[in-house]
């Protein structure tokens, strides 16, 4: 800006100076021409006074010229024919009728012209006057009216200009210096408010910038608007960034965006925690874990599972042009579910295998005729029992698996009534073991569920209470109502050890493996009860002491 102003000022001043010089040269030139023609006019007066009667010849012209200090003298007839000339013999000269000064003199008595003489090759000032009296010609004749022309050297415009040139150069240099100095001060003075405004805008922060100069007010206004817009954009970007960080850090997955193990672009808090990562350090597992190191070297998408602390995680690596991504996902439950599914299949296969082997064995023996006829009824009985056991197992498995698919709607079921009705079914088994049974039921306690689910629960708990009871023992079923109804089934049976209390709800878990299948027990009863309670949101608990007895309690909490 400053440079521009200086340059423009200099250009304008140089241009001005050159123009002034040209003007001055022009004026000097025209003044010198005027002065020269004035001098010639005075000489013409002298001629008119003293030499008018002299003959109009080359000789007279030469004598006059010598007298006038070298001024060229030309005598012309009224038609422009030269009859005497101090420089060139008149006979050699052509008619001067067309010359500007001659025409003017013929018109108005006298005429002046400045031009380059073709004869002498110089810039000349011509002054011509017309005399109406008779002029004496050289041969003795007379001319009716004649013209006398004086011409003297005039300085040319170029001459004047070249004369002025050295002065002009000096002036130019002086002008440059003065201009530079003045322009420097002027620009500083002019630019000061602009510089102050720029400085204020740079340091103002959120505050608006102000100026007392009306010319700068639109700029200040624009700056303030821009500042406000930039401020808003920055705030939005910061908010977006904050949100991104919040989302990334509150994710349960770990995310790492990296270019190499040394160059981590982004890592969220869960990933930092899981990978034990400190800022500006290489990620340890990237170099120390051989499998991961080879995945990184190959640069092909791959997944590995690793136990990080208490839980199991899947580490999924994907590779891009600009950056690579590691996604860490907690797969503990997924893996446990997969393992549990495998265990379940293994258990089912195992449980099925036992009766099937027995049935097949007996069938082969019968086929081979290896069973004596009197033992056939008892073998047939074993085959029937094993078949019953197999179908019991299949029913239990179907029953257990069906719970997951059961999405039938709940309704209010009178649990008191369900208990009273099902109790009747247990009477034979109770009697068989001589168990004293008490049923304490409060009026009508209603629970939001389905009748078949409640029957399933009651059947499992009560049949266990009979199965694992002692001969002549007691079994008490109690149902209390109120805000949170509760059902408890207490027996005075063999009890469950502390260690087993946490495992009895697992599928296919039986404390005493020897009784498996006896009376249909495959370790699915309590797992079914637990599953039903969990789905309904009820609390199932067990209290037991070995050799004393066991109490199972269900609290029917209302779903929130």
Residues that bind ligand ADP (CB under 6 A): 460, 464-465, 468, 491, 493-496, 504, 509-512, 521-527, 550
Q: Least Å distance between CB 504 and ligand ADP?
A: 4
Q: Least Å distance between CB 396 and ligand ADP?
A: 8
Q: Least Å distance between CB 244 and ligand ADP?
A: 50
* Strand order across the 549-555 sheet: 436-441, 474-480, 486-491, 549-555, 539-545
- What is the secondary structure of 328-357 as a DSSP string? EEE-HHHHHHHHHHHHHHHHHHHHHHHHHH
- Which is nearer to ligand ADP, 157 or 552 (by Cβ)? 552
C-beta of residue 532 within 8 angstroms of C-beta of residue 460? no
CA–CA dist 540, 487 (Å, integer): 10
- Residue owning tokens 């069906």: 402
C-beta of residue 296 within 8 angstroms of C-beta of residue 287? no
Q: Least Å distance between CB 511 and ligand ADP?
A: 3
Q: Least Å distance between CB 494 and ligand ADP?
A: 5
CA–CA dist 58, 75 (Å, integer): 8
- Which is nearer to ligand ADP, 101 or 491 (by Cβ)? 491
DSSP structure class, residue 209: P
CA–CA dist 166, 531 (Å, integer): 115
- Which is nearer to ligand ADP, 77 or 494 (by Cβ)? 494
Backbone angles phi, psi at 258, to 5 degrees: -145, 155
Q: How big is the CA angle at 196 (ends 190 and 197), to the nearest 5 degrees?
A: 100
C-beta of residue 463 within 8 angstroms of C-beta of residue 425? no
- SS3 state of residue 110: strand
- Which is nearer to ligand ADP, 103 or 476 (by Cβ)? 476
Length of the chain: 560
CA distance readout (Å), 500 to 497, 544, 552: 5, 10, 14
- Which is nearer to ligand ADP, 32 or 492 (by Cβ)? 492
User: Encoding tokens for residue 404?
Assistant: 């997951």
Q: Least Å distance between CB 430 and ligand ADP?
A: 14
- Which is nearer to ligand ADP, 59 or 545 (by Cβ)? 545
Q: What spatial distance separates the first Cα and last Cα of the chain, rounded to whole Å?
A: 74
Given CA atoms 330, 335, 338, 344 in this order, what sign does their dihedral have?
Answer: negative
- Which is nearer to ligand ADP, 102 or 477 (by Cβ)? 477
Q: Least Å distance between CB 544 and ligand ADP?
A: 7
Three-state secondary structure string covering 31-64: HHHHHHHHHHHHHHHHHHHHCCCCCECHHHHHHH
Residue 80 CA from chain centroid, whole number: 94
- Which is nearer to ligand ADP, 281 or 545 (by Cβ)? 545
- Which is nearer to ligand ADP, 117 or 516 (by Cβ)? 516
User: Encoding tokens for residue 503?
Assistant: 């495992």
Q: Least Å distance between CB 242 and ligand ADP?
A: 52
- Nearest residue to 517 via CA among 410, 398, 387: 387
CA distance readout (Å), 473 to 432, 435, 437, 478: 11, 5, 9, 17
Tell me the β-bridge partners of 152: 125
Q: Least Å distance between CB 385 and ligand ADP?
A: 16
C-beta of residue 541 within 8 angstroms of C-beta of residue 472? no
- Which is nearer to ligand ADP, 179 or 457 (by Cβ)? 457
- By beta carbon distance, the residue nearest ligand ADP is 525
C-beta of residue 466 within 8 angstroms of C-beta of residue 435? yes
- Which is nearer to ligand ADP, 135 or 523 (by Cβ)? 523
Helix axes 2-50, 157-203, angle to 10 degrees: 160
Q: Least Å distance between CB 548 and ligand ADP?
A: 10
Q: Least Å distance between CB 296 and ligand ADP?
A: 48
- Which is nearer to ligand ADP, 468 or 538 (by Cβ)? 468
The H or E element containing residue 150 is strand 142-153
- Which is nearer to ligand ADP, 317 or 522 (by Cβ)? 522
User: Encoding tokens for residue 468?
Assistant: 């694992």
- Which is nearer to ligand ADP, 149 or 530 (by Cβ)? 530
CA–CA dist 418, 414 (Å, integer): 7
CA–CA dist 316, 305 (Å, integer): 9
CA distance readout (Å), 395 to 66, 263, 292, 373, 425: 158, 59, 47, 33, 19
Q: Least Å distance between CB 265 and ligand ADP?
A: 53
Q: Least Å distance between CB 389 and ligand ADP?
A: 12
Q: Least Å distance between CB 557 and ligand ADP?
A: 23
């Amino acid at each position: 800006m400053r440079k521009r102003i200086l340059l423009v000022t200099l250009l304008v001043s140089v241009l001005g100076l050159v123009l002034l010089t040209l003007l001055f040269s022009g004026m000097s030139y025209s003044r010198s021409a005027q002065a020269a023609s004035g001098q010639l006019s005075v000489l013409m007066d002298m001629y008119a006074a003293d030499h008018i009667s002299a003959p109009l010849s080359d000789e007279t012209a030469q004598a006059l010229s010598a007298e006038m200090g070298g001024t060229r003298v030309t005598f012309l007839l009224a038609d422009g024919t030269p009859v005497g000339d101090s420089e060139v013999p008149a006979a050699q000269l052509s008619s001067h009728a067309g010359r500007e000064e001659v025409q003017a003199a013929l018109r108005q008595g006298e005429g002046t012209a400045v031009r380059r003489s073709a004869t002498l090759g110089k810039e000349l000032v011509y002054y011509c006057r017309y005399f109406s009296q008779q002029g004496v010609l050289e041969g003795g004749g007379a001319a009716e009216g004649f013209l006398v022309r004086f011409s003297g050297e005039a300085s040319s415009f170029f001459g004047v200009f070249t004369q002025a040139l050295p002065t002009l150069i000096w002036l130019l240099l002086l002008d440059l210096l003065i201009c530079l100095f003045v322009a420097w001060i002027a620009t500083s003075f002019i630019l000061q408010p602009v510089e102050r405004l720029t400085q204020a805008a740079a340091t103002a922060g959120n505050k608006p910038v102000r100026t007392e100069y009306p010319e700068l007010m639109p700029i200040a206004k624009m700056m303030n608007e821009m500042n406000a817009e930039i401020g808003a954009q920055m705030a939005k970007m910061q908010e977006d960034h904050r949100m991104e960080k919040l989302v990334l850090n509150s994710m349960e997955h770990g995310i790492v965006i990296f270019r190499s193990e040394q160059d981590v672009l982004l890592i969220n808090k869960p990933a930092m925690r899981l990978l034990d990562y400190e800022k500006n350090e290489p990620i340890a597992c990237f170099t120390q874990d051989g499998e991961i190191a080879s995945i990184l070297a190959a640069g092909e998408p791959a997944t590995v599972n690793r136990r990080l602390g208490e839980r199991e995680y899947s580490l999924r690596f994907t590779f891009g042009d600009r950056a690579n991504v590691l996604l860490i996902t907690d797969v503990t439950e997924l893996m446990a579910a997969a393992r549990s599914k495998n265990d379940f299949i293994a258990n089912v296969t195992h449980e099925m295998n036992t009766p099937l082997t027995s049935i097949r064995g007996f069938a082969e023996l019968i086929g081979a005729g290896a069973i004596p006829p009197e033992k056939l009824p008892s073998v047939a009985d074993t085959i029937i029992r094993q078949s019953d056991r197999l179908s019991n197992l299949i029913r239990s498995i179907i029953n257990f698996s069906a719970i997951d698919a059961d999405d039938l709607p709940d309704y209010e079921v009178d649990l008191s009534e369900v208990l009273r009705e099902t109790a009747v079914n247990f009477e034979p088994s109770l009697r068989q073991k001589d168990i004293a049974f008490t049923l304490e039921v409060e009026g009508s306690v209603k629970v939001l569920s389905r009748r078949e689910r409640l029957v399933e629960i009651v059947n499992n708990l009560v049949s266990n209470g009979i199965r694992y009871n002692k001969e002549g023992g007691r079994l008490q079923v109690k149902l209390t109502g109120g805000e949170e109804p509760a059902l408890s089934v207490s027996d005075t049976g063999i009890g469950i050890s502390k260690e087993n209390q946490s495992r009895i709800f697992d599928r296919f878990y039986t404390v005493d493996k020897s009784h498996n299948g006896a009376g249909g027990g495959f370790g699915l009863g309590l797992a079914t009860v637990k599953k039903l309670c969990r789905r309904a949101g009820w609390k199932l608990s067990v209290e037991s002491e070995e050799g004393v007895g066991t109490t199972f309690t269900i609290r029917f909490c209302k779903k929130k």
